[in-house]
Amino acid sequence: MKLSETQTNLLTAAAQHPEHLLTEFPANLKGGARLKVLTSLANANLIAAHSQAEDGTTRFAITDAGRSALGIAIEAKATPSKREGTKQATLIELLQRPEGATLEQMVQATGWQQHTVRGCMAGALKKKLGLSIVSEKTDGQQRTYRIA
């Protein structure tokens, strides 16, 4: 999308605002003209609704796409670092073994109760970290879990 001078000025001011908000509008940009500019920027995903101002109007903030349109480099989101020696790291180590781990082994290694281990596997490991955990039950043995 080719930006007009007004759109460029609004986005530039928002990029420099501490909260990246569109707060400064030219004096000649009122009513329908302001609405049209904001609508075109929102439709192009260059701005997004941020919050309500005290007077009830919607406040808009520049998006990453808006900063990119101005040629501003986007800072990469920091990936969570893996801490060694935590109970979660212990669970991951157990699950990465070729034979996997039984629920009892994970309870013994972490000191957690069974429901806590299951919750960690479902929440932190599967949902947050995106690990694929498979479980198998062989004849007469306990169910084993491992990272696929």
Range scoring the smallest mean pLDDT among 60-74, 85-99, 110-124: 60-74
- Model confidence at 109: pLDDT above 90: yes
- The count of structural domains within the chain is 2
Contact between 101 and 112 under an 8 Å Cβ cutoff? The reply is: no
* Per-residue model confidence as pLDDT tens digits over 43-78: 999 999 888 878 878 889 999 888 888 888 777 666
Q: Residue 9 sits in which domain range? A: 5-69
* Per-residue model confidence as pLDDT tens digits over 9-53: 899 998 899 888 888 888 888 888 988 998 999 999 999 988 887
Q: What is the pTM of this model?
A: 0.50
Distances (CA, A) of 80 to 24, 46, 90, 123: 36, 27, 17, 16
Judgement on whether residues 106 and 142 belong to the same structural domain of the protein: yes
Judgement on whether residues 63 and 101 belong to the same structural domain of the protein: no
Judgement on whether residues 53 and 104 belong to the same structural domain of the protein: no
Q: Is residue 77 included in any domain, yes or no?
A: no
Return the CA Rg of the chain: 25
- Model confidence at 82: pLDDT above 70: no
Judgement on whether residues 105 and 62 belong to the same structural domain of the protein: no
Domain of 135, CATH number, reads 1.10.10.10
Judgement on whether residues 49 and 91 belong to the same structural domain of the protein: no
